[in-house]
Chain A
């Protein structure tokens, strides 16, 4: 009986977390757009515009190319689901979520990889040149971003002695010290996050010149509800990376396991604060830098890979770095 109650409670908490990330993701996107516009001395769209866009897209009919296959139609649901699950497994406002042990940090990276794999395939489904160029470049970036991410995971896991996000966050809360390896990992993670979310300088989410796009070129053929799902997944991915950086490197305010409503409220407020700060810093970085040529990006991501590797190597040499 107690077990069943616990299970129901756990499922409820997990459901709450899933609803929370889904609800907040477009808001973060809207916030970054607004801040960016303000920094460029434009007025910018309202913060709630991404919600309106999504609702509008969901209500519209989907236009498919004549030769779009079943993969093209199912991929958006799977991409959305994989990204959503990944985002929901990160401790956002409380550690020790009932199902956070289902996938550790390495599995989280791989889940994002699953979503990307499907998206790249969907880009090639209709057989247009833009879809192909997008998929090809996305996989090139991923081929460097993913190992960089694994090296970051290694660094963090060797410091904290665990690949479980909850355990890492708890460790960072209890033993907050400045470490060389963690500094390297944090820098690398920011680079990877910028690249993975198709932000400037790697990719431009607002461009209208197709040849310079990567992510947008892949989803060029999508419309209606399918596009809405892909946009939602992109928003979730941005939220995921900001939450991840927050959870690992700024874990303060996270409510520990089984804490009361007060601690949970503080955790929630802290989380919102982290999102605002993260979004603001991201936009500040974006507006102060120009977009790179495609073949400069591997060098940029190579830096992240080398930083991650260096962090891991230092920790192999001595645990005290």
Chain B
């Protein structure tokens, strides 16, 4: 039943997309209407996902529609995993739609956004609902193309065109690898429904893992396949950025889990080493790159890369445990990854909403031109601060819970018998801890430079608070961040059927624990209680405030800033985003980014100002992508000659190809 409801929702979304083509010329009211319909539909689908995950949780019967290829049809089905991701997709989509009811009215070219937005939502829903390889790939590609169209919405900016170009190339590459992965999974029998794949013989499961890692990883943003992500996510309108960063990367994670945990059979130990190593590098490189940015939205996009790394560390650990038959720890690692998926979709959407609000109020994304917004946009500042604290994994908010669970999973891994894992897991644990600490630095910078201090430009000075729809969306997500942080047990219990279906075990029921603590294994081993920590902090802070205000001075005097006696009224004397990150750039960036500082000091008597030039190099771009692009160009030039052959030569080429293929076939069997 929930499957049918969700499919009807998708149909309504597609219909809305069609209507939006007409409506997009009719001004702000039409745009509000489109987003309101999207909000309603995604809420219904969110409900369908919740009903299935919490009440049904068994595999629903497949719904087969006579669409697509005639001999396959289109299969749709909800199971626990799909239902969980349906919740993630539609919760993020509902928030983005609510935000966009207010935000979308400021869109300069609504005709380039409105029709694609519902289609994009429909595409993501379809990926999650699909139950055969053909429908999955079709929906995946539909999602990619609609999001590409949204990235290209402001195509007058050459940077955005470049972003769109890189994105479409990477999206094609990702789909290609997934196509090959499904081809291997379906095997010789050619049964493309997921049920047939599960039942069939498996050829080369290791290769399938690598292809899935490349395909889903390129969409999710695993290093080194992340190159498109920090370009494309910020280029889109902010509510779409929130969807791409908060939700679409999660759909990619869904694709990986579906292929590797569900369809590809029992895992081998070396798979997990590959995944964990890639994830660890992703974490550290993602957060370091984020720290070097001064464009607020690009910083957030780079930070998505880090969080995807955290998710994949959890997934890799789950693979490692389940490869060695340790199902209970595998359930903890998988739950940690899924909980982080949920948490990240909340706070990353929230932060992108905040950056959208700032963009709307000031027209600026560059942090070096902002500052002091906490005075003019206090509510946005409050929600953005909540998001920053949550993403920096600070208790009692939600980001901490999933990182804590990941750490607990790491602490269970010395019992793994594989030597490769024994050596790599502690190193990745250190990388995870390092990236968590750097994330805090990154978001002190993001919040401190954007919202605190003094306004650096007139635009920042003149900012006003955003509309109430946008605020409602931001406050709803901030509240959810707190709720998931102080009552994590309820959310962990919700994930139990997913873990049960994928690794054959689940974490102990948390909602029956005393005081709603989170206890992964046993209370003598580890426990965390967000609710109590929150109450303790709140009570202590209130008690301190009460005591001081009752028994001591409550007087306040306002004066000029002290600044050691030499306050400079010029806002340019403040720390900027670049100067904040300078110490970290010197410590880490010198090797990772080949960061070089060059000081140009004019000779004495010369009145010209001194100049400091900093150069950063993206080594992955320079060493991987540029040579690849050059190689492709070279090959294309060489192959260009094939366009100018005679008909005889073409016919002989066809003949040679035919003979070659027949040879392969005869040798193969």
The residues of A with any CB-CB pair to B shorter than 8 Å are 18, 58-71, 77-78, 80-82, 84-85, 88, 99, 101-104, 106-107, 110-111, 113-114, 116-117, 120-121, 124-133, 135-137, 139-140, 142-147, 150-151, 154, 157-158, 161-164, 167, 210, 220-221, 224-225, 228-229, 294-295, 298, 305, 308-309, 312-313, 315-317, 319
Size bracket, chain B contacts: 35 or more
Q: Which residue of A lies closest to B416 (CB)?
A: A316
Q: Is the CB of B533 within 8 A of A107?
A: yes
**A117–B581 Cα gap in the complex (Å)?**
15
Chain B CB count within 10 A is highest, among A111, A113, A126, A143, for A143
Chain A CB count within 10 A is highest, among B378, B410, B568, for B410
Which residues B501-538 have CB closer than 8 A to chain A? Answer: 515, 517, 523-529, 532-533, 536-538
B389 within 8 A of A: yes
Residues of A within 8 A of B611 (CB): none
Q: Is the CB of A210 within 8 A of B564?
A: yes
Q: Which residue of B lies closest to A123 (CB)?
A: B448
B371 within 8 A of A: yes
Q: Which residue of A lies closest to B543 (CB)?
A: A81
Chain A CB count within 10 A is highest, among B524, B538, B571, for B524
Q: Is the CB of A59 within 8 A of B525?
A: no
Q: Is the CB of A85 within 8 A of B437?
A: no
Q: Is the CB of B560 within 8 A of A66?
A: yes
Residues of A within 8 A of B109 (CB): none
Please judge, given known A-B contacts A66-B558, A104-B527, A107-B528, whether A59 and B575 are in contact too, CB under 8 Å. Answer: no
Residues of B within 8 A of A116 (CB): 440
Q: Which residue of A lies closest to B436 (CB)?
A: A146
Q: Which of B381, B408, B449 contacts A124 (CB 8 A)?
A: B449
B400 within 8 A of A: yes
Further 18 A-B residue pairs, CB within 8 A, beyond A61-B553, A139-B441: A64-B558, A80-B540, A81-B537, A81-B544, A102-B532, A103-B532, A113-B394, A120-B444, A126-B561, A127-B371, A129-B563, A151-B430, A163-B526, A229-B544, A312-B430, A313-B427, A315-B414, A317-B423
Return 25 A-B CB contacts under 8 Å, by A number: A62-B555, A63-B557, A70-B374, A71-B385, A77-B544, A80-B540, A85-B533, A102-B517, A102-B536, A107-B395, A107-B528, A110-B400, A117-B392, A120-B444, A120-B448, A130-B563, A136-B579, A137-B583, A140-B441, A143-B437, A144-B587, A150-B429, A221-B561, A229-B548, A313-B427
Q: Which residue of B lies closest to A85 (CB)?
A: B536
B391 to chain A, nearest CB (A): 11
Q: Which residue of B lies closest to A84 (CB)?
A: B540
Residues of A within 8 A of B582 (CB): 136
Main SS of the interface on chain A?
A: helix
**A277–B151 Cα gap in the complex (Å)?**
62
Please judge, given known A-B contacts A85-B540, A129-B563, A295-B586, whether A139 and B429 are in contact too, CB under 8 Å. Answer: no
Q: Is the CB of A126 within 8 A of B453?
A: yes
A294 to chain B, nearest CB (A): 7
Please judge, given known A-B contacts A61-B553, A125-B453, whether A101 and B425 are in contact too, CB under 8 Å. Answer: no
**A303–B262 Cα gap in the complex (Å)?**
43
Q: Which of B414, B448, B515, B567 contacts A135 (CB 8 A)?
A: B448
B559 within 8 A of A: yes
A101 to chain B, nearest CB (A): 5
Q: Is the CB of B525 within 8 A of A163?
A: yes
**A59–B524 Cα gap in the complex (Å)?**
45
Q: Is the CB of B523 within 8 A of A66?
A: no
The residues of B with any CB-CB pair to A shorter than 8 Å are 371-372, 374-375, 378, 381, 385, 389, 392-395, 400, 404, 407-408, 410-411, 413-414, 422-423, 425-427, 429-430, 433-434, 436-438, 440-441, 443-445, 447-449, 452-454, 515, 517, 523-529, 532-533, 536-538, 540-541, 544-545, 548, 552-553, 555-564, 567-568, 571, 573-575, 579-584, 586-587
Please judge, given known A-B contacts A101-B523, A124-B452, A164-B527, whether A143 and B434 are in contact too, CB under 8 Å. Answer: yes
Residues of B within 8 A of A125 (CB): 374, 448, 452-453
Q: Which of B372, B437, B452 contacts A147 (CB 8 A)?
A: B437
Q: Is the CB of B395 within 8 A of A80?
A: no
Q: Which residue of A lies closest to B411 (CB)?
A: A157
**A145–B395 Cα gap in the complex (Å)?**
18
Q: Is the CB of A61 within 8 A of B441?
A: no
**A113–B527 Cα gap in the complex (Å)?**
19
Please judge, given known A-B contacts A67-B375, A127-B571, whether A117 and B414 are in contact too, CB under 8 Å. Answer: no
Q: Which residue of B lies closest to A136 (CB)?
A: B580
Main SS of the interface on chain B?
A: helix
Q: Which of B375, B524, B541 contacts A80 (CB 8 A)?
A: B541
B397 to chain A, nearest CB (A): 9
Please judge, given known A-B contacts A64-B558, A147-B437, whether A99 and B537 are in contact too, CB under 8 Å. Answer: no
A225 to chain B, nearest CB (A): 5
Please judge, given known A-B contacts A120-B448, A135-B575, whether A316 and B540 are in contact too, CB under 8 Å. Answer: no
Residues of A within 8 A of B562 (CB): 63, 65, 128, 220-221
B244 to chain A, nearest CB (A): 27
B314 to chain A, nearest CB (A): 15
Chain A CB count within 10 A is highest, among B427, B433, B440, B454, for B433
Residues of A within 8 A of B448 (CB): 120-121, 124-125, 132, 135
Q: Is the CB of A62 within 8 A of B436?
A: no
Q: Which residue of B lies closest to A58 (CB)?
A: B552
**A205–B440 Cα gap in the complex (Å)?**
24
Residues of A within 8 A of B587 (CB): 140, 144, 295, 298
Q: Is the CB of B541 within 8 A of A140?
A: no
Residues of B within 8 A of A58 (CB): 548, 552-553
Q: Is the CB of A61 within 8 A of B556?
A: yes
Residues of B within 8 A of A113 (CB): 392-394, 437, 440
A151 to chain B, nearest CB (A): 6
**A319–B416 Cα gap in the complex (Å)?**
12
Please judge, given known A-B contacts A58-B552, A114-B389, A127-B371, whether A139 and B427 are in contact too, CB under 8 Å. Answer: no
